[in-house]
Amino acid sequence: MRRSVGLRGVWVGALAFSATLLVSATAPARKPTALEATLKSHVETLASDDFDGREPGTEGETKTLRYLARQWFDIGLEAGTNNPANGWFAPVELVEREPVVSRSSFMRGRKRIAVPDDAVFVVTSGLRSLVQDAPLLFVGHATAAAIPRAELAGRIAVMLDSEPAGADGKGTTDRAGRLLNAGASAVVTVLDDARGIDDVIARRRRAGYAVAGEKLGSEIEAFLTPRAVDLILAGTAHRDTARLRADAASPSFVPYLLSVTASLEATSRETRIRTHNLIGRLPGRNPAAGAVLVMAHWDHFGECAAPPAEDLICNGAIDNASGLAVITEAARLLSRGRPMERDVYFLATTGEELGLLGATAFAEDPPIPLDRIVAAFNVDSTGLVAPGGPVGIVGKGMTPLDPLIAEVVRRMRRKLAPGDGANDYIKRQDSWVLRQHDVPAVMVSNSYGDMARLERFMEDTYHRPGDQPNSAINYAGMADDVVLQVELVRAFADQKRYPTPDPKRRPTR
């Protein structure tokens, strides 16, 4: 753990490995390095059918964490939870909520309006939510300035699903959430041709997840087809959906009441899932100087297809057996070198695929105060590209880590990818959660330096049974990422190269 080849040995190996890449394509196939073979073994094990898709709360979780914990223990890591009752495994309790009941009724004066069940869908974030006899307030596209709380209170906000002409999509995300936060009793979305009711039902009937104890609220949302809206508005001054769209398009539009009231009800079924984060630690010479965190999520979807499909399991080889393999072998190389100044924590999170929930649990109950983590590096979905290419940063320009990252990449005779295209993934991986708690966290990987290759993976293989440990995985490129993580950790674990940040200067989000 504290002796062996050190940084010089790592560099000699890395340079020898890089030299083999210069061999002509006509030369005999290069024999994989020992590191590549080990990475391949990890991925083939963790993404095998025997692990059944690594679903939290299943036997697949037990096998996954047992395998990783044994690897980390043999490497020489120490248990990292800093809790004697749960040395390696930090318990995480998740709440699964699945929609069960959707009911609605609409009244025009004292007249009930018949709306087909397949034209409306009601869902809640809680166990049961009910709004009775509330007036409908049409708010157009809900992209303009905030509507006064007094105007929304006690009313159901009705908004168009589409964006106004010329909108670029910026600032229009989670419009329903903003209306609910502003005081609306519920939000009704009028669907358009871009998103049908069947699409909404298929998506929203999936179970939702949260960390137990997290305040889930009891917000209620409903979705209506244009046909349902036409039935509801028939005989009123506002007539139909076409009139609503025309009004919303007017530059002088202001919200107005519709001559209709509604009662909306939704219920959910709750299930508790007990799962775990795995945390290991490589002690430094001066723990008071803070710590570096290296992380990757271990979970995937389990069985994600149904008969008559032949392959039912989402094995998650790239996403994210690859990341687990990379941080495990980075830990091995770091443990063999000279002890670093700062502690280095290794974290394998649960529930990433369910909404970054393992990272959320870690941030809410960390093994050390979060302000002591000077840098965090997430590894997710690597092994997509050949070695030697540009390095991408997810979180580029968003933390104080960039200058030293650039120096490390330059010393490795590598280049940073131009632009900030990798930042499109900033909210889709675990480092996002830490950033919300002011921990400077990024992803640095060659796979995010080739956006075209990454997008092909997302379109063809991501979250599908085809994400298998096969020849599409580039283990030489994955080995490149191992060496990159090692050099990043060594740089940020050195207080001279990266002084302890001033606690008064918080990183930007």
Q: Which of 126, 155, 128, 118 is nearest to 139 (CA)?
A: 155
Sequence-separated (6 or more) residues with CB below 8 Å from residue 65: 89, 276, 278, 298, 348
Q: Which of 85, 37, 95, 87 is nearest to 65 (CA)?
A: 87
Cα–Cα distance, 483 to 474 (Å, whole number): 15
CATH hierarchy code of domain 96-270:
3.50.30.30
How long is the chain? Answer: 509
pLDDT at residue 504, rounded to an integer = 55
Buried b (16+ CB within 10 A) or exposed e, 120-130: bbbbbbeeebe
163: DSSP letter = P
Angle at 223 between CA 221 and CA 228, to 5 degrees: 140
pLDDT at 136 exceeding the cut of 70: yes
What's the number of CA atoms in the CB half-sphere (13 Å) around residue 303?
Answer: 10
Please write the tens of the pLDDT for every residue from 92-105. 999 999 999 999 99
Cα–Cα distance, 218 to 73 (Å, whole number): 44
Are the C-beta atoms of 361 and 308 separated by less than 8 Å? no
Question: pLDDT > 90: what percent of the chain?
Answer: 79
pLDDT at 469 exceeding the cut of 80: yes
Cα–Cα distance, 376 to 443 (Å, whole number): 8
Cα–Cα distance, 335 to 503 (Å, whole number): 29
pLDDT at residue 237, rounded to an integer = 84
Both structure tokens of 480 = 């490149």
Q: What value does the mean pLDDT take over residues 58-83?
A: 97
Q: Can you give the three-state secondary structure of 191-226, one letter per residue?
A: CCCCCCHHHHHHHHCCCEEEECCCCCCCCEEEEECH
Please write the tens of the pLDDT for every residue from 161-211. 987 765 544 444 589 999 999 999 999 999 987 788 999 998 888 888 899
Q: What is the mean pLDDT of the chain?
A: 90
6-19+33-76+283-492: CATH homologous superfamily? Zn peptidases (3.40.630.10)
Both structure tokens of 332 = 């091995």
Please write the tens of the pLDDT for every residue from 337-351. 999 999 999 999 999
Domain ranges of the chain: 6-19+33-76+283-492, 96-270
DSSP string, 345-393: EEEEES-STTTSHHHHHHHHS-SS-GGGEEEEEE--S---S-TTS-BEE
pLDDT at residue 216, rounded to an integer = 65
Please write the tens of the pLDDT for every residue from 274-333. 999 999 999 999 989 999 999 999 999 999 887 888 899 999 999 999 999 999 999 999
Q: How far is CA 214 from the centre of its chain?
A: 17
Q: How far is CA 335 from the centre of its chain?
A: 29
pLDDT at 13 exceeding the cut of 80: no
Please write the tens of the pLDDT for every residue from 233-257. 998 888 899 999 999 999 999 999 9
pLDDT at residue 173, rounded to an integer = 58
User: SS3 of 462, please?
Assistant: coil
pTM higher than 0.75, yes or no?
yes
